[in-house]
Amino acid sequence: MKKYSALLFLLLGLALVAKSFLPERPKTDFDLAAFGRLPVVVNGRVKPLDTVARTSLVVFQSSQRVSAPDGTPLAPNEWLLDVLFRGSRADAYQHFEINHPDLLAIFGLTPEDGRNKRRFSFRQLEPKIAELQRQSALAGPVDAALRTPFQKAVVQLYSNVGLYFRLKGSLVAPDHKDFLAELMTFQSSVTAGVTAVRAKQANQPHDEALAARMMEAGARFSRMDELAYLLGVPPADGEANTTGWKKAGESLLESFQTGQIAPAVMVYAGLARTWNAGQAKEFNELVGLYHSQLEKKFPSSLTKCAAEARFNSAEPFYTASILYVLAFLIAVISWLFWPAELGRAAFWLVGLAWVLATAGILARMWLEGRPPVTNLYSSALFVGWSAVGFCLALEYFYRNAIGSVAAGLVGFSTLLIAHHLSLGGDTLEMMRAVLDSNFWLATHVVTVTAGYGATFLAGFLALIYIVRGLFTASLDKATADALSRMIYGIVCFGTLFSLVGTILGGIWADQSWGRFWGWDPKENGALMIVIWNALILHARWGGIAKQRGIAALAVFGNIVTAWSWFGVNMLGVGLHSYGFMDSAFWWLIGFAASQLFFIALACLPLSAWRSFRPAT
Amino acid sequence: MNDVTRQFRDFFVSLKLTVVLLALSLILVFAATLDQVNLGIWGVQEKYFQTFFVLARFGDFPAPVFPGGYFIGGLLLLNLIAAHLYRLKLEWRKAGIQLTHAGIIILLVGELLTGLWQEDFQMAIKEGESKDYSESFRLYELVLVDTTDPKFDEIVAIPDTKLAQSAVVQHPKLPFRVVTTAYFPNAALARRDPAAPASPAVPIASQGIGPGVAVTPLPITYKMNETNVPAAVVELIGAEGSLGTWLVSPDLAAPQTLTHGGRTWRIALRIARAYKPFALELLKVTHEIYVGTDLPKNFSSRIKLTTPDGRDDREVLIYMNNPLRYGGYTFYQYQMDSARGLTVLQVVRNPSWLLPYIACIMMTIGLILQFSLSLRAFIAKRRATPSPVAA
């Protein structure tokens, strides 16, 4: 057992990874996965409906897990199908998250009325929608940064309900009975109908009923055009035309002129009918037919959508975070029992988690056609990835499980941060014009983010030094020296990456804005990391701080880095405020306070340190 | 060497000084970042960085409360140079560190030169329009344009800083002196009710449009999305005495003219201009967005560049991250209003722009050299001692 423990844990980890990549077993006869792979355009990007389903759910209720009123769990695609095509049923799904008690009071609801005490259905909100709209109109003019928690909750919920409506009107008319039948009648009479309407306008004899039907259809289609969230109709000329995607409503309005309804619109109407009628076979055939049609003109979009849907369901970063926790626990235990065997097990698990995270990041890069870091979410992934990379190198040289403990800690916490950042919606975003430069994203952003990772890692290693030295007797001189050298080495890397990254950023700024340095908050944040790392190095070289002092300084580096990473975005000023976020403010304060507490601990006299206390 | 000089030397070459200065600079940068919310990016630079001391006002008295950017930066530079001269040893082991620090020196000097030399202007051009001058972001100038000869204008421009100092300006091209009676760095103009009593702080101009305009002085704004609009009352005094006073402001669109000694001038306070020995004509602006969103994908301006001598006559495309460098100037895509066919280019002249690039290369090579030497020594040492696991 002892001898094979490392192998056992590795196999366990591999099994976990393998399970996440296996396709989910379908619970229905409908081919939900194939439906989820169909491409649409949202926020300027071609993405599979699977992503639309998951990101909408996350925006509505901070979680992809949803269930029908009777408690049956729904797959995200099943949920989306009901929202898109069977509104009457979706209206009863409790998927709007409301946490603010005053907001619940507006609807006359109590937490007990909701699923998990915080999620409510549209039907529950419907009677007071007008009041929600009024409250939102009151909160709307207030500057986003100055809104009260209640106002923020109102604006968020109103926008979520709006998104729900827009999804419902994206592919079929929201109040349709049988949209396919409606379209077929329309198709057969559109030419005559347009003539009738023209005649009516010219005050000539015409078929009054037909003209009225046409006007009504036009009104319905323009309502769909206004509402729609998805651009579901691909351009006829193939994927080279990136701007040709249309809303179903827009495409239907065009059919008044062409007399033809776009195939995609018909397909979705057909899917609506078969989904509502429970005709799984016909549904699957239709999806298959549409896939093979698209295959001719959109081969690479389809490949990417299929890969993205698979990526979504595998959730590699979730699995990686479990592996990091496991590795952390095993590595800590290895300080007490079986150091060699459990140490190796932890090392291998960290390695496995890191390989998985690497694969995840590479997959995102390929999907987006971008370097690894493009927004705050991907920066969290990359900070963790680079820090764990350093840990693997440390562990390879030192074999004392410290690298694995730090890797587990940093790896898990960065993925946790990333998870919370992903609650805003789709994390694969298009780049604003000013940031649209793969060269600089690949050099400046990557280097600076690796600098964040290294500086955080030095801080976490210092935390290990303080906690082990102060509270346990396990930090013998050899380990303390080794740990101190590790901190120093990582600070060196932190200096290298943050300095080079910051200067590259200056050069990018010179290239795009005409000045090398502008004292922009994000630039200042990066500069502060450089200054702090330089300070640690000079304090060590000058003999001003010894092991404990360096550890305390390195912990302060955590605060500096957290400030630079998130704090400056909260100021809401400057050219870099694209990463704006407000809810994390108290988390940042709490983190800084905890780090100050550890620094205070590090300043306790040697006699208080269990590892260094002179033997009595 | 006596004790005092030794102490002096030891102070300037010490690593303790370096650490203290680095800590001070960290605090300075942090405070400046926070204060940007109140002061804006320009105000912060003046208050914290382009100064020897950060001043705080206690009542009416400004008192230094913290060393400023010039102070800390200057001492760091001294410390850096002194320490390296003092400990200078030419050997491979030190080359990385020395190269890195030389890079930092160049970077600091480069920033200082940029602060002194950089000119930052903008150029707003409409489609079909051609311009041979750029305009300042924040500076204004009083111009007296001699329009007597219909073939050309002769312009005398007086920077607003002179007006702010209430300096008396005597120019050989002008048969009168220009005296500033009042100057407001930011002011709002409105139609004046003739019956209303005049504010004693704001003299009413006697000539031109002045008598009909009420001037309300405003505090200087530092906000990113607001601009200061100055106003001034100037008196022109010829050999035979005063010709009268004029109110000038960029907000006064209608031209004001005066005639003296048979010649006619136009008088105006306008955004300071810098004329160029070439002209840019805007052919077309393009504003691309991502389909189905209002997220900007790219802004680009197609420009025709011409020189009066005809040596240059070509089309260029300026877009995000791709500026035009020409004649010592760099033109960046800055703002755009595609509906009105308007583009705004940022025009920068910075003779020291290359220094950061050189510094970057030196520091990168230096740090990589240093750390790879350390890493090699470290690995060699690890190899020499058996690892605890293997034992």
B298 with A436: Cβ contact below 8 A:
yes
Instruction: Please tell me the predicted confidence (pLDDT) of residue A52.
Output: 94
Report the b/e string of B200-227 with b at 16+ CB within 10 A.
eebbbbebbbbeebebebeeeebeeeee
Q: In whole angstroms, give the CA distance from residue B376 to residue A348.
A: 25
- Best of A531, A546, A550 to substitute, by most chain B Cβ atoms within 10 angstroms, is A531
CA distance A408 to A392: 11
Question: Is residue A614 within 8 angstroms of chain B, CB to CB?
Answer: no
A-chain residues near B285 (CB < 8 A): none
The answer on A137 and A172 residing in a single domain is yes
Facing residues of B191 across strands? B213
Answer yes or no: do A435 and A343 share one domain. yes
Q: Is the CB of residue A571 less than 8 Å away from at least one CB of chain B?
A: yes
Q: Which of B36, B356, B389 is closest, CB to CB, to A503? A: B356
Under a CB-based contact definition with an 8 Å cutoff, are residues A299 and A234 in contact?
A: no
Residues of chain B contacting residue A243, judged by C-beta atoms under 8 Å apart: 291
Query: What pLDDT, on the 0 to 100 scale, is given for residue A414?
Result: 93
Q: Specify if A28 maps to a domain.
A: no
A542/B18 touch (CB, cutoff 8 Å), yes or no? yes
**Chain B: closest CA distance from residue A490 (Å):** 11
Residue A249, min C-alpha distance to chain B (Å): 13
Please answer yes or no on whether B332 and A513 come within 8 Å at the CB atom: yes
Residues A522 and A574: beta-carbon distance below 8 Å? yes
Q: Helix crossing, A446-471 with A521-541: angle to 10°?
A: 50
Residue A96, pLDDT above cutoff 90: yes
CB atoms within 10 A of CB A386: 25
* Cross-chain Cβ contact A519/B49 below 8 Å: yes
The per-residue b/e assignment along A565-598, b for 16 or more CB within 10 angstroms, e otherwise, is bbbbbbbebbbbbebebeebeeebeebbeebeeb
Does residue A444 carry a pLDDT above 50?
yes
Query: How close, in Å, is residue B300 to chain A by CA atoms?
Result: 10
Please indicate, yes or no, whether residues A309 and A324 belong to a single structural domain of this protein.
no
Contact B119, B348 (CB under 8 A): yes
A209 touching chain B per CB within 8 A: no
Q: What's the whole-model pTM score?
A: 0.83
Q: Which of B19, B299, B367 sits opposite A538 (nearest CB)?
A: B19
Q: Where are the domains of chain B?
A: 3-117+354-384
Model pLDDT, residue B383: 76
Q: Is the pLDDT of residue A121 over 50?
A: yes
Q: What is the pLDDT of residue A274?
A: 93
Strand (E) positions, chain B?
Answer: 53-58, 61-67, 119-126, 130-146, 154-159, 168-170, 177-184, 187-191, 213-217, 231-238, 241-248, 256-260, 263-289, 296-306, 313-319, 324-326, 329-337, 342-349
Alpha helices per DSSP H over A369-445: 376-398, 402-421, 438-440
Contact A514 B330 (CB under 8 A): yes
CB contact under 8 A, A499 and B295: no
**Phi, then psi, of B263 in degrees rounded to 5:** -120, 155
- Among B29, B353, B364, beta carbon nearest to A510: B353
pLDDT, one tens digit for every residue, chain B (391 residues):
678 888 888 888 888 999 999 999 999 999 998 888 777 777 888 889 888 999 887 877 888 889 998 899 999 999 988 888 887 777 777 888 889 889 989 988 888 888 778 888 888 899 988 888 888 888 899 998 888 888 888 888 888 888 888 878 888 888 888 888 888 888 888 887 777 776 777 777 888 887 788 888 888 877 666 778 888 888 888 888 888 888 888 888 777 888 888 888 889 899 888 888 889 999 988 888 887 777 788 888 999 999 888 888 899 999 887 888 888 888 888 888 888 888 998 888 888 888 888 988 898 899 888 888 888 887 887 777 654 443 3
Confidence at residue B213, expressed as pLDDT on a 0 to 100 scale: 83
Expressed in angstroms, the distance from the first to the final Cα of chain A is: 39
* Cβ within 8 Å, pair B120-A515: yes
Residue A576 above 60 pLDDT?
no
- Residue B39: closest C-alpha in chain A: A573
8 Å CB contact of A510 and B356: yes
How does residue A583 score in pLDDT terms, banded at 50, 70 and 90? low
Which site among A520, A524, A575 would you substitute to test the B interface, given the most B Cβ atoms closer than 10 Å to its Cβ?
A524
**Residue A375 belongs to a domain:** yes
Which residue, A291, A314, A337, sits at the end of a domain?
A: A314
Measure the CA–CA gap between A107 and B121, rounded to whole angstroms. 55
Tell me: do A328 and A306 sit in the same domain.
no
Q: Looking at the 3D structure of chain A, how many domains does it have?
A: 2
In angstroms, the Cα distances linking A65 to A57, A125, A278 are 8, 21, 23
Taking CA atoms, what residue in B is nearest to A544? Answer: B16
Q: Is residue A13 part of a domain?
A: no
User: Could you say which of B291, B360, B388 has the minimum Cβ distance to residue A242?
Assistant: B291
Chain B residues inside the 8 Å CB shell of A568: 33
Q: Are residues A350 and A386 in the same domain?
A: yes
| Amino acid in the structure at residue A184 | M
A528 contact residues in B (CB cutoff 8 A)? 26, 29-30
**Are A310 and A431 contained in the same domain?**
no
**A528 contact B CB<8A:** yes
Instruction: For residue A41, give the H/E element and its range.
Output: strand A39-42
A434 in reach of chain B (CB within 8 A): yes
Interface TM-score (ipTM) > 0.95: no
Residues A270 and A328 reside in one and the same domain: no
Q: Kindly state the DSSP code that residue B157 receives in the 8-state scheme.
A: E
In the Cβ-directed half-sphere of B225, how many Cα atoms lie within 13 Å?
4
Indicate if A309 and A347 belong to the same structural domain: no
Give the C-alpha separation, A264 to B78, whole Å.
71
Residues with Cβ within 8 Å of A201's Cβ and at least 6 positions away in sequence, in order, are none
Is there a contact between B293 and A434 if contact means CB atoms under 8 Å apart? no
Q: Does A477 touch chain B (CB under 8 A)?
A: no
* Residue spans of beta strands (DSSP E) within A102-187: 119-121
Last residue of a domain, one of A283, A314, A345: A314
Residue of A nearest to B363 (CA): A500
Chain B partners of A245 at a C-beta cutoff of 8 Å? Answer: 291-292
Tell me the HSE value of B348 on the side-chain side, using a 13 A CA sphere.
Answer: 23
The two tokens of residue B320 are 């995000």
Domain around A249? 35-314
Q: A563 to chain B: nearest residue by CA?
A: B30
Question: Distance between CA atoms of B63 and B60, rounded to whole angstroms?
Answer: 10
Domain's final residue, options A294, A314, A334: A314
A207 membership: H or E segment, kind and range: none
The reply to whether residue B291 touches residue A243, judged by beta carbons under 8 angstroms, is: yes
Q: Any chain B CB within 8 A of the CB of A527?
A: yes
> Residue B318: left (phi > 0), alpha (psi -120 to 50), or beta?
beta
**How many angstroms separate the CA atoms of A345 and A348, rounded?**
5
pLDDT score, position A1: 65
Which residues lie across from B238 on neighbouring strands?
Answer: B241
DSSP character at residue A422: G
- State mean pLDDT over A205-222: 88
Please, are residues A516 and B353 in contact by the beta-carbon 8 Å criterion?
yes
Q: Are A538 and B15 in contact (CB under 8 A)?
A: yes
Residue A310 lies in a domain: yes
Q: Which residues of B touch A504 (CB under 8 A)?
A: 360
Count of residues in chain A: 616
Closest chain B C-alpha to A502 CA, distance in angstroms: 10
Instruction: List the single residue in B45, B356, B382 with the smallest CB-CB distance to A506.
Output: B356
Question: Does B367 contact A539 at a Cβ distance shorter than 8 Å?
Answer: no
CA distance A476 to chain B (A): 13
Of A109-123, A133-147, B215-229, the poorest mean pLDDT is in B215-229
B32: its two tokens: 């400046």
Q: How far is B230 from chain A (nearest CA, A)?
A: 25
CB contact under 8 A, B363 and A45: no
Which chain A residue is nearest to residue B383, measuring alpha carbons?
A: A397
B-chain residue closest to A344, CA distance: B389
Mutate to test the interface with A, among B11, B14, B26, B301 (most CBs of A within 10 A): B26
Tell me, yes or no, if A335 comes closer than 8 A to chain B by beta carbon. no
Q: Which one, of B18, B267, B183, lies nearest residue A538 by Cα?
A: B18
B139, B181, B144: which is closest to B256 by C-alpha? B144
CA distance A69 to A398: 55
pLDDT tens digits for range A244-255 = 899 999 999 998
A47 and A106 in a single domain? The answer is: yes
CA separation for the pair A423, B42 (Å, rounded): 35
Show the tokens assigned to B311. 């040596």
Interface contact A87, partner B, CB < 8 A: no
b/e code A91-124 from CB counts within 10 Å (16+ = b): bebbbbbbebeebbebbebeeeebbeebbbbbeb
- A338 and A302 in one domain? no
Residues 114-153 of A with CB under 8 A from B: none
Pairwise CB contact (< 8 Å): B295 & A43: yes
The rounded distance, in Å, linking the Cα atoms of B259 and B78 is 58
- Long-range CB pairs of A337-342 (<8 Å, 24+ gap) are A338/A2, A338/A5, A339/A400, A339/A401, A339/B389, A340/B389, A341/A2, A341/A3, A341/A5, A341/A6, A342/A5, A342/A6, A342/A401
Residues in chain B: 391
Decide if A206 is inside a domain.
yes
Provide the pLDDT for residue B26: 95
Flag if B29 and A527 touch (Cβ within 8 Å): yes
Give the per-residue pLDDT at B391. 34
- Find chain B residues with C-beta within 8 A of A574's C-beta: 36, 41
Give CA–CA dist A516/B353, Å, rounded: 8
Residue contact A573–B224, C-beta within 8 A? yes
**Closest Cβ–Cβ partner in A433, A434, A518 for B41:** A518
**Cβ–Cβ below 8 Å for A528 and B114:** no
Contact by Cβ (8 Å): B287, B130: no
Q: Say what the pLDDT of residue A579 is.
A: 42
Give the number of other CB atoms < 10 A from CB of residue A19.
10
Of A397, A531, A542, Cβ closest to residue B25? A531
